[in-house]
Amino acid sequence: MKFRTDLALERREILDTQLDGVTVTEKYNNECKITEIKINTESAARKLGKGIGKYITIEMNSFSDEAAVSEGRLNALVEGIKALLPPKEGTVLVAGVGNSEMTSDALGPFTASKVFATRHISDELCKCAGINASLRPVVSLSTGVMGQTGIESGEFIKSICDTVKPCCVITIDALAAGSIARLGRTVQMSDTGISPGSGVGNSRKRIDEEYLGVPVIAIGVPTVVDSLSLACEICDVSEEQLNRGNVTQADGLVVAPKDVDLLVKNAAYILALSINCALQPQLTTKELYAFM
């Protein structure tokens, strides 16, 4: 059986060894631990089960514990997004991936609904609204899921890209963790794109630069944990020991915390604010609050 995690940090921890072709740096602020993992070779990518690229993992207190947007967390998130944005200026497409009717999968749609869409706002309209700066064009949308729309999330985003022609795409999606310690308290950002549904064994078409033709930044928060990984952690046994027991009926089962609704609501709000701050640096945080 193969335990599921979308986090590059956890995949590296599972291997528990130094890998050639992988560089890791860590830093801290007063509220967060920030780990940057760079996968540089195909060999390392295969061993980790992740694509070549950069993965920024920000660990903090649980989103369900703190509703207020703190400076340390916001700064860490904004810096992470800016580090992944391409230098080219232009329109940014923000896409919330997931099912708004399923709480543990609603992070993407909830976040996208709070992103400040500006592509339709002219400089003249900005002046009338008291904004003395040009706004970066931003398009925000929610893709829904194939069971609702009959359209793959990747197909939906590609069709919009063909029309809007953004310089990059930012996707937001709920993730699966392998450890309860990172559930609802970790944000992963990467420049490698995503496979919607991969964390719960329902992988769809990849949304990445190769498919869309523009750089893709993927942002996610773990809202569920694989039940078999959870059993290993709680019982303090290895995967091999667990395999000796009759646990195969639990394969495919994922578990969400009881306060997942609060977790998703708070996480979506701070992620949206972070995206707004990163894309509109000429506006203050207070000004951006007003547009949310």
Tell whether 271 is covered by a domain. Answer: yes
3-state secondary structure the chain: CCCCCCCHHHHHHHHCCCCCCEEEEEEECCCCEEEEEEECCHHHHHHHCCCCEEEEEEECCCCCCCCCCCHHHHHHHHHHHHHHCCCCCCCEEEEEECCCCCHHHCHHHHHHHHCCCCCCCCHHHHHHCCCCCCCCCEEEEEEECHHHHCCCHHHHHHHHHHHHCCCEEEEEEEEEECCHHHCCCEEEEECCCECCCHHHCCCCCCECHHHHCCCEEEEEEEEEEEHHHHHHHHHCCCHHHHHCCCCHHHCCCEECCCCHHHHHHHHHHHHHHHHHHHHCCCCCHHHHHHCC
Tell whether 220 is covered by a domain. Answer: yes
- Which residue segment(s) compose the domain that 118 sits in? 8-290
pLDDT for residue 4: 75
Q: Assign 25 a pLDDT band (cuts: 50, 70, 90).
A: very high
Tell whether 116 is covered by a domain. Answer: yes
Tell whether 218 is covered by a domain. Answer: yes
For the cut 60, the answer to whether the pLDDT of residue 244 exceeds it is no
Query: What is the CATH classification number for the domain harbouring 198?
Result: 3.40.50.1450
Number of separate domains in the chain: 1
Tell whether 2 is covered by a domain. Answer: no
Tell whether 55 is covered by a domain. Answer: yes
What confidence tens digit (pLDDT) does each residue in 91-113 have?
Answer: 999 999 999 999 999 999 999 99
Q: Considering only residues 1 and 153, tell me which one the structure prediction assigns the higher pLDDT.
A: 153
Tell whether 19 is covered by a domain. Answer: yes
pTM of the full structure: 0.90
Tell whether 3 is covered by a domain. Answer: no
